[in-house]
Amino acid sequence: MFIGYFTERPYQDFDSGWVGSTGREIEDLGMTNGDYNPRIGADLYNRYLDEKVYAEEMGFDGLMLNEHHSTPFCMGGVMNVEAAILARITKRAKIVLLGNVLPIWEDPLWLAEELAEIDMISRGRLVTGWVRGTGRESVAHNSQAPFNWERFQEAHDFVVKAWSTPGPFRWEGEHYQYRYVNPWARPYQEPHPQIWIPGVMSRNTVAWCAEQRYPYIMLATELEPTKKSFEYYDEVAKEQGYEAGTQHHGYLFKVHVDETEELAEEAGRKYIAGPANPFLEGNQGQVRANLQNLPGLTSRTSLLPTVSTFAAAARGRSLVPTGAEVEAPNSDAQDQADFLGTYEEQSKKYSIISGTPKTVIPKIRHVLETLRPGSIFFWDGDGAMTHEDSMRSLRLFGEEVIPAVREMGKELDLKGPFEVDTQTNEPMEA
C-alpha cells in the first residue's frame, strides 16, 4: 500500500477575517489580491514545506501537491516550484503532483522540461499527475473552456512523446504545433515518471484513465458513490482486455489525529473554518455557477455517481444553475439532501475522520474495506488548522497510525502502483 500526505496550503490571515466562522465570506474569483500579505504568504509557504519534510520523517511514502489559481484556499498556483524545492530537501518520499492543469499550458514542452528536471533532482521520485482544471483556472488563465478536454488529451500525448521518444521531431496537432521538439532534459525514470490522474465526477476522464491503465485517485468523495466509480473503471478495464486491481485505485480523505478526543474535535472543526475548499458545503466559501459551468468544461450527460454529492452542494450553494442535468444514475435523493454539511454530518459519513489513534484507526479500516484502494492520501492541516495542529497529527500518524495502516494493507492485500505495475499487472522489484 502507498500512503501519502496532503494539504491544500490555505492562505491564513487571522488578523483580517480570513479565518474562522465569523470571518468574511469567500466568493471564488471575487476577492482582490490587494488583501494578500506577502509576508504572511512567505511564512505559510515555509510552514507547509516544513510540514512536508516532517511528514517524510514520520514515514509517509508520498508528499502530494495540487494546483489551483487565483484563490486563497490553495496557495499552490505554481506547485512545480514547491515540488522542485522538495526534490532537493527530501530524501525518500515520492513527490506526487495531483496535478498540473494541462489545458491552461500554452507551451507543454516547457512543462515537460520542468517535470523532467524535478525528476532528475529528486533522483526518480516524481509522480506526475494531470488534471483538466475548473472554471476558475480557465478564466484566470484565459483558456478556452470548450477545448478543455481536447487540449488535455493532446498535451498529455505530446509530453509523453517528448519524454519517451528521442528527438528532434515535429509536432503538428490541433492545439499545439512545434517545428522542433528535442528537450535536453529527460526524466530520470525510464521511460518517464508514473502518471496518476485525480478527479471527482467525469466518466470521460475515468474511462480515458482506464484505457491508459493509469491509477485514478478519487478526491474526498463519499464512500458508496466512490465505490461505484471504481467499479466503472474496472468495467472499462475489462473492455480493454485487462483486470484492474487495487494498484489502479486511489483515494484522498480527511483524517486528523490528535492527543485527546477534545483536541481532535477542536482541530477537526477547523476543516470547515477559514479559506478551506469552497466546493465543500459548510466551508467558508462560495463558487460562482457561471465559472464552474463554462460551456464544454464538464459533460452533463457523462457523470460519475460521485456527482450526487456535488449536485446537493450545488443546490445549497449555487454551484450549478437551477435545472442543470446533474443527476447521476443510481444516486439517492436522501443522500443528496443530507450531503456533507456540518462537522457532525461530515464525520458521520466518514468525510471527516478525527480522533485519537485508538478511534481513528478503525474508521480508516472501514474506508479501506469499503473502497479497497492501493493508494491513499490523508488530507490534514487544512482550513484554520495551525502549524501546531499539523505537527501533533503528523507525529501521531508516524508513531501509531501509519504502522497500523500498513498492517491493514497487508491483511486486505491492498497493493499500490509501486508494488504492482499498472501497465502489466506484474509485481515490481522492491
What the chain holds in terms of domains, given with CATH numbers, is: 2-272+344-412 (3.20.20.30)
Q: Grid coordinates 512536508 are at which residue?
A: 52
pTM of the model as a whole: 0.89
Average pLDDT, stretch 108-115? 98
Task: Indicate whether 280 pLDDT > 60.
Answer: no
What is the residue-averaged pLDDT of the chain? 86
Give the tens place of pLDDT for each residue, 145-199: 778 899 999 999 999 999 999 999 999 999 999 999 999 999 999 999 999 999 9
Higher pLDDT, 350 or 316: 350
Residue 320 reports pLDDT greater than 50: no
**How are beta strands 169-172 and 177-181 bridged, if at all?**
antiparallel
Predicted confidence (pLDDT) at residue 316 exceeds the cutoff of 60 = no
Q: What is the pLDDT of residue 176?
A: 97
Reported as a pLDDT band with limits 50, 70 and 90, residue 134 is confident
Summarised one tens digit per residue, pLDDT across range 30-41 is 778 888 899 999
pLDDT of residue 382: 92
98 sits in which H/E element:
strand 94-101
Contacts of 230 (CB under 8 A, 6+ apart): 216, 218, 249, 371, 372, 373
Confidence band (pLDDT; 50, 70, 90) for 323?
Answer: very low
Yes or no: say if 28 and 71 are a contact pair by the CB < 8 Å rule.
yes
Q: How far apart are CA 217 and CA 198, in angstroms?
A: 4
Which is nearest to 228 in space by CA: 306, 303, 299? 306
**Burial of 243 (C-beta count, 10 Å sphere; 0-12/13-18/19+):** exposed
Residue 313 grid coordinates: 452542494
Tens digit of pLDDT for each residue in 347-375?
999 999 999 999 999 999 999 999 999 99
293: CB partners within 8 A, 6+ apart: 135, 320, 321, 324
CA distances from 208 to 21, 152, 204, 239 (A): 40, 11, 6, 12
